[in-house]
Structure 1
Amino acid sequence: MNSLITDSAVQEYIREHLNADVHTIAMAKSPFPGITGQELANQIAARKKSSKKLPSWFNTAGIYYPPLLSIEQCSSEVTAAYKAQLCNGTTLIDLTGGFGVDSHYFSRVNQSVTHCELNKELSAIASRNAPLLGQHNINFISGDGMKLIRNTSQHFDTVYIDPARRSNSGKVFMLRDCTPDVVENLDLLLNSTNRLLIKTAPLLDISAGLKELRHVSAIHIVSVRNECKELIWVLEKGFGGRTQIVSTTLNGTQKQFSFLMGDEVRAAISGTPAPGDYLYEPDVALLKSGAFNLIAERYQLSKFHHQTQLYTANQIDESFPGRIFRIDEVLSAGVVKKEKDLRGSVIVRNYPDKAAVLVEKYHIKSSDTQFMIFTQSASAGKIILKSTIIQHY
């Protein structure tokens, strides 16, 4: 960590050049002795990346930023605040602390937080920024959190860990493919707490994870603006009941859809002879849950087609986590060919052509409020729905 970067003149330069070309700055001679152009470029790029993801950091004067990759990999404030709701008790240890975003929010609901980070520089940066952000109850330890757990007799009310994948190759991975290996060290972790929170990437298969872990009381599937951000596995020592699945959308307002494992198997599903007045498109957090029939049952919807995760109804339910469209007209492919001046953003679900192909084929002009939804229904086969969006993600 280069302490010269905290100088007021340097900080002013970073603020003034927030929209500058960082590649040019990195290659140019630095106007400040002891600070390289690359260091200035990184501070600018990392601060700019934080403007939406970490607004508290962005709006706090004097924040020292780590390499840009650390900002890209850390939790957003929105998801960190959500995880803080899942804590129990007053003491927590964050075994993979990183830039300290999660620990910041954990410190708001715990009397004492321990932040462990293997990377000495990242640990120093997080510790240095903490007082600027009003954090005074976080103990920063530069070292291996797993070693600390192994060598301490202290009991924590909550243990939090964010294991990293050892390899980014392939889309499917197991918890055993991550480090620290929470599967191998599960007993060790649960010896130090009654409540373990594990954050994983959304690519992790839920069924596979349940086979690897024990005592899973809940799995939280968290999305922001229809992008699945993370899975939070809640383990409670001694828990042996059915796991609760909680799909949460964080889009300004929080919406949730929850159920117990096994409920989907028992859910009834109704088909529909024709599209109703409205179309419902589930958020990715709902789709990740796999409860396709339960979604229909819970919100009193009908599915267009058994292979299409689109639903229809004659009423609006604003509690639905996802988009809702008013269906203005139902067209066949033959009719669409004859239409002139077609407008709308194209959505394709269970339809043989891709969106880009359909836009070119039918000369469809873009629109922010109008949509052309190409899909299939069980009764009419391939259909196109001219629709107007009335609820966004």
Structure 2
Amino acid sequence: MNVDNTKSEHLKAGATIVDNVIVNSTVWKYLDDHADDDIDSLALHAKLPWKQGTGESNAAVKTPRCPDLAWVLQQISGRQIATRKLPSWAATPHLLYPSRVPMEQCSSQQAAEYKAHLVCTLVGQLSDARNATDTRNASESFTFADLTGGFGVDFATIAQKAHHAYYVERNEQLCTIVSHNLQQLGISDRVEVHHRNAKDFLAAMPAVDVIMLDPARRDAHGNRTYALADCEPNVLNLLENLAQKAHFVLLKLSPMLDWHKTVDDLAPFATEVHIVSVKGECKELLVVLDMRRTTHDYQREHLDRLVCADLTDQSQQPLTREGGTCQQFAQKADFALTGSPSSFARIFTVKGSTQMKTVTPVRKQTDNLEGQLLWEPNASVMKAGCFGAFAQAFSLEALEENSHLFVGGRLEIASTIPAKGFVIEQVSGFAKKDLRQLTSQLTHANIVVRNAPFTPVSLRKKLKLKDGSDITVFATTNAHGEHVLIRAKRIASSEPLVSDNLNIPWG
């Protein structure tokens, strides 16, 4: 059988051949018709309207084959994950999806858009060095390489804004899928797909403006790794080559890493750390390396910016706070190059070592808390540990240095502060009488334990409360070292609040 003739016949008939799998209109229709089906049920009862696996395969020749059930289930499962993580991709016709692991590991759409805006910000710093005769703006003229491309979500989102981009991936099947998807996304004319490992491609590649790396966090045996030196590729061993090939390097790392140690390990190049949460869950640690930075720069200022970004959905206002000033995300100077992103964010930025070392003010007065506002910092601020700068920016005081719960502020900051807001209803100790009074007429509540010798499970059992409510009971420690319970009602930042009966300033 002539393999080339067979492929040509399928292509003439309007089919797509990806990884030697024939995907024609019948296949696409089946995938669309069963897009919402339960995968387990489909695996047991599916009847494919074509003969599975038609085609021959041996070591020398691979002829195109019809999709088998495993391939179909992979596509439907992938699209279902994309509907949750990548809604614009899920809505794009004829995209193909890899196995479950790359799908679960890929960035969400919000996180990818954030990185694209960050890259454009970095490119903006290079714009003054552009040739004066180059009429393209910075967001159209930069070059970019992703040396650990994966499923290509970050790559495609950034490449849409680039003049030319290189996708590099050591997994051949991912390269094939991504190459197909880039055509469907309409950006194949500005990208190159390379089936190579990062180290080898880096040694031979042309210089670019920005390189991105997302080192694999599993070893050869599949075990999770967290230390930067244990990831693959080992970025620490590539710094010299990276300095020769890019102005900036963007590292996407595990949120489990100690960012302080990471900055020291990457000295003198690390200049920014972005701690990115998506809908309240810390997802990524992004480290920006300026490969032009010197040891003198590092000694003068270890880190230029620490950014806490909480990416939310479109129902919330995109706001930032930097030095006490709130702005819309789209209007923020750092992100002005690319306009408004489709995802929304609350961004809190700490500039320089002085702000990062701000001492956290502690509230010494432990009584008269009823009616006060209570703030629980979001996941990014908690990971950053910049509690002094956080408290200073919003005029707050900590209940205790290690409790990481704050009181004070004004009602209007509820829509801007990177924290959950509550109104304190009652504060009590742990005596039986106090507990009865605290839980009076209360059947459900959320439980949060901060710097107290309990677990949420044991405390819930003690208080005999079911989960769920707009009421939260905090177990914590105050400035006098006393263990206390705080009953508080959640503030919905999108709803107007009435200040009657609240012991807090207004306006």
Q: Map of 1:1-393 to 2, 5 A cutoff?
A: 1-2=18-19, 4=21, 6-27=23-44, 30-31=47-48, 32-33=50-51, 34=53, 35-87=67-119, 88=123, 90-136=142-188, 137-152=190-205, 154-167=206-219, 169=223, 173-214=226-267, 215-239=269-293, 240=297, 241-243=301-303, 244-252=305-313, 253-259=344-350, 260-267=352-359, 269-274=361-366, 275=369, 277-316=372-411, 317=413, 318-334=415-431, 335-338=434-437, 339-342=439-442, 343-379=444-480, 381-391=482-492
Say what the alpha-carbon RMSD is for the aligned residues. Answer: 2.2
Contact 1:26 1:40 survives alignment (8 Å) = no
Distance 1:361 1:186 in 2: 54
The answer to whether the 8 A contact 1:196-1:236 is kept is yes
Do 1:27 and 1:37's aligned partners in 2 also have CA atoms closer than 8 Å? no
- Separation in 1, partners of 2:208, 2:309: 27
Is the deviation greater in 272-281 or in 54-63? 272-281
**CA displacement, residues 37-95 of structure 1 (integer Å, 9 cap, x when unaligned):** 22121111111111020111111111111111111111111111111122225100111
Query: 267-276 or 32-41, which moves further after superposition?
Result: 267-276
Question: Counterpart of 2:8?
Answer: none
Shift of 1:5: 5.9
In our comparison, the structure showing a higher alpha carbon Rg is 2
Q: CA deviation at 1:255?
A: 1.6
Name the CA distance, whole Å, in 2 between partners of 1:320 and 1:63: 38
More strand by share: 1
Q: Aligned partners of 1:272 and 1:11: how far apart in 2?
A: 66
Give 2:454's aligned amino acid. D
Verify the 8 A CA contact 1:300 1:313 in the aligned structure 2.
Answer: yes
Note closer, same or farther for the CA distance 1:199–1:278 as it changes in structure 2 (3 Å cut): same
Aligned residue type for 1:254 = A
- 1:27 Cα offset (Å): 4.8
Query: Post-superposition shift, 1:128?
Result: 0.4
CA deviation digits over 1:217-275, x for unaligned, max 9? 10111111221111111111232233121111111331222222353334352324133
Mapped contact 1:272–1:302 kept (Cα < 8 A): no
**Separation of aligned partners in 2, 1:250 and 1:277:** 27
Secondary structure, aligned partner of 1:150: helix
Shift of 1:121: 1.2
SS in 2 for 1:85: helix
**Deviates most, 224-233 or 255-264:** 255-264
Letter in 2 for 1:80: A
Moved more, 337-346 or 84-93: 337-346
Residues 243 and 292 of structure 2 are in contact (CA less than 8 Å); yes or no, is this contact kept in structure 1? Answer: no
Give distance in 2, aligned partners of 1:86 and 1:42: 32
> What does residue 135 of structure 2 align with?
none
Mapped to 1, the partners of 2:466 and 2:247 lie a distance apart of: 56
Between the aligned partners of 1:188 and 1:386, the Cα distance in structure 2 is 55
Contact 1:197 1:233 in 2 (8 A): yes
Per-residue Cα deviation, 1:84-142 (whole angstroms, up to 9, x for no partner): 12222510011111111111111222111111111111111111011222223222122
1:235 to 1:380, Cα distance in 2 relative to 1, 3 A: closer
SS state at 2:111 partner: helix
1:392–1:39 CA distance, 2 compared to 1 (3 A)? farther
Cα drift, residue 350 of structure 1? 1.9
- Aligned-partner Cα distance in 1 for 2:479–2:360: 17
Aligned residues of 1:162 and 1:200 also touching (Cα < 8 A) = yes
Greater mean deviation of Cα atoms: 343-352 or 161-170: 161-170
Partner Cα separation in structure 1 for residue 21 and residue 466 of structure 2: 53
Structure 2 gap ranges (5+): 1-17, 54-66, 124-137, 314-343, 495-507
Residue type at the aligned position of 2:466:
K
Identity of aligned residues (%): 27
Change (3 A) 1:347 1:46: same
In 2, distance between residues paired with 1:119 and 1:30? Answer: 31
What is aligned with 2:13? none
9-18 or 274-283, larger mean C-alpha shift: 9-18
Secondary structure of residue in 2 paired with 1:309: coil
Contact 1:114 1:138 in 2 (8 A): yes
For 2:47 and 2:69, the matched residues in 1 are separated by 5
SS at match of 2:451: coil
Q: Deviations over 1:292-343 (max 9, x none)?
A: 2222122111111122011111523232112111112223322123543323
Q: Deviations over 1:342-384 (max 9, x none)?
A: 2321222122222222222222134432222222212482222
Q: Which amino acid counterpart does residue 144 of structure 1 have in structure 2? A: N
Residue 246 of structure 2 aligns to a residue whose secondary structure is coil
Residue pair 1:301, 1:311 contacting (<8 A) in 2 also: yes
Choose 287-296 or 16-25, whichever is displaced more.
Answer: 16-25
The one-letter code sitting in structure 2 at the alignment partner of 1:319 is: T
1:186 is matched by which residue type in structure 2? L
- Give 3-state SS (helix, strand or coil) of 2:168's partner: strand
Contact (CA 8 Å) 1:280, 1:310: kept in 2 or not? yes
